[in-house]
Amino acid sequence: MQKIALIGLGASGLFALKELANVEAELHIFDVGPSYEKRYACPIDQGKLTVCPPKACSYCAPGQSAGSWNDFKVILSASQVIGGRLYDLIGEVELQKRLDKVRETILTHAPVEIPIVKPNEEDLSWIKRKATLANMTYHYQELLHCGSDNAPAINTSILEDIKANSRNLVFHFDSKVLSLKVKSDGFEVVFDGYKKPGNTQNLNFDYCIVSVGRGGAHWLTQQDFYKNLDIHPGQVDIGLRVETSCYFTEEVDKRFYEPKLYYRSKHANDIVRNFCSNPKGFVTPENHRDYVLVNGHSKMYEKSENNNFAVLVSKTFTRPFKNPQQYSQTIAKLVNMLAGGGPLVQRLGDLRAGRRTKTLSNNLIKPSLEAECGDIALAFPHRILASIIEYLDALDKICPGVASDATLLYAPECKSYPDSITVTKNMETTIKNLYIIGDSSSWTRGVGQAATSGILAGEGIKQKLEVKPSIIPVNLHTKTQNLA
Ligand SMILES: Cc1cc2nc3c(=O)[nH]c(=O)nc-3n(C[C@H](O)[C@H](O)[C@H](O)COP(=O)(O)OP(=O)(O)OC[C@H]3O[C@@H](n4cnc5c(N)ncnc54)[C@H](O)[C@@H]3O)c2cc1C
């Protein structure tokens, strides 16, 4: 029987698995994280911790499938600019078809009714007019906001359904894939226990799907075969998490939940965009072991009086510089150094005035994250901050109050994307039978398109298996191999 390795069971891996669950092949699933039912909610949210644990936890670390456990907003529209670049790979119609499949799966497994956020005609003409007057570009999107509190139930239910309908799955949770080797007759996966190492094993496969996310992107670059792929340097987004009053943004929140507004800065001609809005949500730390970023999330039931969202400046670099990730991480570490190890927070008024924030005790906006008050300008390039301030001034024309002195800015919020890997429409790389999907391929940047790329890879392998029917009958039963 043919053997398939799936490395990483995050947003993309889960949908690849769903697509492949019934094929006549033996499927081995490897993931650093614990099995889904053991993945826990954020200990800070639960009041068990006040700061992130020293090792990034499974809640928001990118190595552990963050977005489909944290906030879990799923962009459902086939867009050329939002959520990834699959539009360029497969076109609008094919992308929309797969996104509809993702939507249907999530809604089927949701424990409560999840509303689809979709602007109506009146909302669309409202935002188009407002955005144009503010010199911004609005990008249409429909989305599903599942919330951090519903995410465990949805993911676990999808996985349980896959298990119930399959006979040929072998799970290796709590297992880190140490290396993936390309051999003349397939692939060799070498893995070991993650929390309790010391039991290194290796298995051979005919097909391999790599779905290790952004957290596994560095690991991918360390594999011997990586240099044989067709790759192009990725992009970084450097920015801040903005926290303001939910009353300043309530009109757009009510109409759109998260309108995608892009702006080209006069100062540097850079593209500036908003990302990950959390009306009535909370700012959170995002612990990457070597450095701490900020992020935000919202919940279906518990609400704050604030809104938080990221404002990001996208940068790509040309020769001779080849390491955009290191650039953004260096900025993040500089901020952490000034803050004594975590994020910094500064009032917008203080940033404009060129002075550090010393206290927030009388500030109109009460912070939802306890961060060190300071001066972000000591760590961030002027070009980036000037573009962000311009963006907020433009947004203030749509959401009056957003650019007020009391608005809080948290740093660092940096997103780095892996190198872009050349793939076919089914995510197969230039190495035969090797599929790289999700954020580690750099074709996706969110749960919706990551899941879509998983479906595409699953479809591709299914087609290949169908033309090569297996001779030996399937007799393997689903079993979970837990190495921890
Ligand atoms: C805090 C945070 C919040 C986010 N919120 C959203 C959101 O609301 N909506 C949205 O669309 N996007 C969101 N994103 C982005 C989203 O998480 C990603 O786009 C999406 O998860 C990508 O899916 P993926 O399958 O490529 O990777 P992931 O979902 O990250 O999955 C990768 C998997 O691979 C495993 N892995 C990695 N390396 C190895 C290895 N060597 N061996 C074995 N297993 C390995 C990891 O444990 C993980 O389970 C968020 C990201 C972060 C960091």
User: Between β-strands 408-416 and 344-347, what pairing exists: parallel, antiparallel or unpaired?
Assistant: antiparallel
Residue 136 domain flag: no
- Contact of 329 with 290, CB cutoff 8 Å: yes
Q: Is 418 in the pocket of ligand 1 (CB under 6 A)?
A: no
Residue after which a domain boundary falls, among 365, 398, 416: 416
- Candidates 244, 55, 65; CA nearest to 158 is 65
Whether pLDDT at 187 is above 70: yes
Ligand 1: which of 309, 447, 449 to mutate, most ligand atoms within 8 Å of CB?
A: 447
In this structure, the chain runs to a length of 484
Question: What is the spatial order of strands in the sheet that 408-416 belongs to?
Answer: 137-139, 260-264, 271-279, 306-315, 236-245, 408-416, 344-347, 372-373
Q: Whose CA is nearest to atom 6 of ligand 1?
A: 67
- pLDDT value for 394: 98
- Contact of 34 with 484, CB cutoff 8 Å: yes
- Residue 228 sits in the same domain as residue 289: no
Give residue 67's pLDDT band: very low, low, confident or very high (50, 70, 90). low
Interval between CA 355 and ligand 1 midpoint (Å): 37
Interval between CA 270 and ligand 1 midpoint (Å): 27
| Low-confidence winner among 261-275, 311-325, 362-376, 437-451 (lowest mean pLDDT) | 311-325
Q: Is 32 in the pocket of ligand 1 (CB under 6 A)?
A: yes
Interval between CA 64 and ligand 1 midpoint (Å): 6
- Residue 320 sits in the same domain as residue 202: no
- Residue 393 sits in the same domain as residue 305: yes
Residue 484 domain flag: no
Give me the phi and psi of 84, to 5 degrees please.
Answer: 140, -170
Q: Is 257 in the pocket of ligand 1 (CB under 6 A)?
A: no
Q: Which two tokens stand for residue 468?
A: 């090569």
Q: Whose CA is nearest to atom 48 of ligand 1?
A: 64
| Helix/strand/coil for 16 | helix
Atom number in ligand 1 closest to CA 75: 11
- Residue 324 sits in the same domain as residue 427: no
How many separate domains does the chain show? 2
Helix or strand run (H / E) with residue 139:
strand 137-139
CATH number of the domain residue 210 falls in = 3.50.50.60
- Residue 312 sits in the same domain as residue 406: yes
Q: Is 84 in the pocket of ligand 1 (CB under 6 A)?
A: no
Q: Is 65 in the pocket of ligand 1 (CB under 6 A)?
A: yes
Interval between CA 134 and ligand 1 midpoint (Å): 34
pLDDT tens per residue across span 419-436: 889 999 999 999 999 999
Which residues, including other chains, have CB under 8 Å from residue 177's CB and lie 6 or more apart? 7, 30, 189, 190, 191, 212, 219
Residue 198 domain flag: yes
- Residue 274 sits in the same domain as residue 336: yes
Whether pLDDT at 37 is above 90: no
- pLDDT value for 323: 82
For the segment 228-252, the average pLDDT, to the nearest whole number, is: 93
- pLDDT value for 211: 96
Whether pLDDT at 116 is above 90: no
- pLDDT value for 234: 80
- pLDDT value for 415: 85
Quote the CA–CA distance of 56 and 337 in Å, as a whole number.
18
DSSP 315-375: E---TT---HHHHHHHHHHHHHHHTTSS-EEEEHHHHHHT------TT-SSPPSS--EE--
Residue 108 domain flag: yes
Interval between CA 450 and ligand 1 midpoint (Å): 9
Whether pLDDT at 148 is above 80: no
Higher pLDDT, 167 or 169: 169
- Residue 78 sits in the same domain as residue 21: yes
| Enclosing domain of residue 401 | 235-416
- pLDDT value for 348: 98
For the segment 54-78, the average pLDDT, to the nearest whole number, is: 69
Quote the CA–CA distance of 277 and 413 in Å, as a whole number.
13
Interhelix angle for 246-256 vs 121-133, to 10°? Answer: 130
Whether pLDDT at 65 is above 80: no
- pLDDT value for 51: 65
Q: Is 277 in the pocket of ligand 1 (CB under 6 A)?
A: no
Best-predicted range by mean pLDDT among 44-48, 58-62, 137-141, 406-410? Answer: 406-410
pLDDT tens per residue across span 244-269: 999 999 999 988 888 899 999 998 99
Whether pLDDT at 162 is above 80: yes
Whether pLDDT at 61 is above 80: no
Residue after which a domain boundary falls, among 372, 391, 416: 416
- Contact of 379 with 239, CB cutoff 8 Å: no
Residue 141 domain flag: no
Give me the phi and psi of 345, to 5 degrees please.
Answer: -130, 140
Residue 128 domain flag: no
Give residue 55's pLDDT band: very low, low, confident or very high (50, 70, 90). low
Give residue 473's pLDDT band: very low, low, confident or very high (50, 70, 90). very low
- Contact of 215 with 64, CB cutoff 8 Å: yes
- Residue 201 sits in the same domain as residue 242: no
